Structure 1
């Protein structure tokens, strides 16, 4: 093969792949004239079927060379070649050596070319740090995950290497001799060829000011030393997924992704960068829609989340850290309700998220109730929380709402409510309600105790029912002289149903048992009724006495409480629909706003109704308000 033929074949860059790396190709050179071996590393290799062009820091002067691919050593893949020429291109500090393959089968060359193609598809990462130990540590982490790696000891060296390496990602220290990370990042962002390369800073400087400076310069992540391998890999995955989403936006295609990897704020930044118009949906882990953000030419103009819309809805959605997002590009969008620039909106969301996180260590649970210590709120707290929001939150605390119940009742986002409550706790304005403290809207008194003598269900009516049970009586007992007309149906000595005004079943029977006096008459004969009660008399008496004790210990006026269904509980409501008795109670809440009216219209006994409503309140399905 002639020198020209080798040159032509190895320069067919469109047909044959190239390896770009700082330490990938090793070679062993045999010089026949000097009768000695020389070893070194090449930095770039162009392949063809018949030969190769190797770029190295020193010329390969000799007869034969063996090229070794370290990753392929386990396959004993070594390519032997005859050196055709070595020359130094103009304005270059590297030498190009033309090599003609010898003693190599076509299959072997094809395997090498296929490997190089696969290798070139791997993510290329440039590691820049003046500490060799850090560079080695990072390179070891990355190569185990099949990343290509380049190294540089400072920003000045990296600038010369980047045009050759063409990295997909840069990981750089901040403080280095000759050129630091901040200066390098700034220079890369100035050039159209390198402006879009993702950039991760490493630094011992953990000052938030430095971190903010790095991010403002265009970096994608900022990691503080010392770090763990998991920190690096997590940051790389996050940055590369963000880059992929960005490319998807640039190509005008709908995009979707995981909120665990990329948060709402970062997604908004990507969409703003590309000035796209459309709707960003936030989905639960099960795929249900939690809310939506409407965007026009990159600017957020509205958001919805449950009963919230506008800024509060956006802040609520910004707190979502699991599930998925999906951005649909289209031109039809609703009217504008958010007029802030994205930067101000995102900064406010970030501030609220940070302040909301401060609440968790201050309370034992988000289901606790709070107690007001004073109504005097310091001026700096009033400045941070609007007077209307502050007044609403404090009224809800007085009414006995749990922390989780407050946002839905106040019409604000969870993060704003949490941030405000954290402020109030830190200032000593409110404290967590201690065990034994009674909340104003407590509907299930703690430890009601055993029934007293006057709580016992007894008297002539009970004696009569016991006698009928013994004699397997079938018929009806009519009761007069009570607050409402009442009757009890007996079948084979056991209570089958009861009525008290409009109430029936156990609900009616327990109300009958809770009143005294009146007169009774009985009618014997077969009954044609639906059996609504199926329990022995002693059990029914015990349940009735528990309800009587509950009423005696209840300190809350049930007619002063309004019960509202939370707009953020749609999934839980779907589960309730599967249980007929619970579904009827939910319908009663929709039809009546006052707790006393809900209890009266409920099919379930009064105490059972209150227990179920209180359970729903704890689970965020309903909220209480004082009338």
Structure 2
């Protein structure tokens, strides 16, 4: 037997039907036609779970549940309301009074059985805590907005824990006297974690009342947090009407981002999104990157697409074809033997140096326990050097296993380095001959636009080099940024009118 169920409903037909169906599912079942009758029999029956209607004469379900929770002998019995009332207010009231779940009629028996099992599992889990959860429920029936109303209206202090259907913890929110204090969701913390939890529509929640002594992390009011989260979720929904699907790959258009959009999105968050776009991640990968909440990432992408700052560069099939090519090793501009050696070092988690001989400049890649940590190409070091190594052809590799003591100048994953490096090699392949020897001059009549550049460190660095050098190649060589990023910054300044690029006479 899975356990003993007490069914409480003033309609005998429903009571008998539930008793029959639950008995077939291997439960021992008992039926009472009123809350009063149930209260008299519970000490003798000792049910493992109670399923009760709300609308009953003499004593309704709310009163019945409240009396159970006020008695220490029955306070911990799992309790589910099964009612025809579908209004959220009724569900809130049920949970406020101590019900563990609320299922609306009509209901399929399989769904009710599933809810009963989850409630009983959580009741067993709750016994490991010092006290039973004040209340708990299902996110598919109660969203975070509704749950917070219970916490705030009752001035509760404690922890609201969220778990997935497999029982794994998703995140938590801390409250002090009903006020939002702290939140954690995956790697996110604070308000971003709160917005991420607001977006969850599946899973379960449990509130455990306790004194909170942790430092305050979220300073806005409950209402302000809910309004901000709701706004982000609504704005993010617009993304689904813009994109054909979330597997679309996006590209940045050659337009300046207005200051008001930077202010609205946040400079740092906007930069994170643009970096992921530059890496050719799909919209889905950007939204689920964990660098910010899904509502925030969706809202920013929606704004950038509506403002024509971003556009769709690839569809789902093109993305699949590209990934297929990358997986098979075809379609890459990097020498295949070099990729094979690098991946072998990564797989075997080796430490050492990979020297590439028979090339005009001395070149070497450094590995620590399989991770690529440093590179030099002549006098150039870091990621810039690595991508230049990728661009060169020919050569003879020689790997020397040894301890690595050099300063780590690269911290990206191998996969990302190969993808980014290949893209840079491809894009710069034709540009070197065409424009690297061109002359750059500063347009002093438009220097007032330099104020726009100062807020972007990369542009500031490149503009400083423009003041020192007069040739595209010299600026790219002197820059600490990768060749492609430096070249793109030069193009941005050309569009702003700050510099001019002229062909060499």
Q: Shorter-normalised TM-score: what interval? A: 0.3 to 0.5
Q: Could you say which structure has the higher helix fraction?
A: 2
For the pair shown, which has the larger CA radius of gyration, 1 or 2?
1
Q: TM-score, normalised by structure 2?
A: 0.46
Q: Could you say which structure has the higher strand fraction?
A: 1
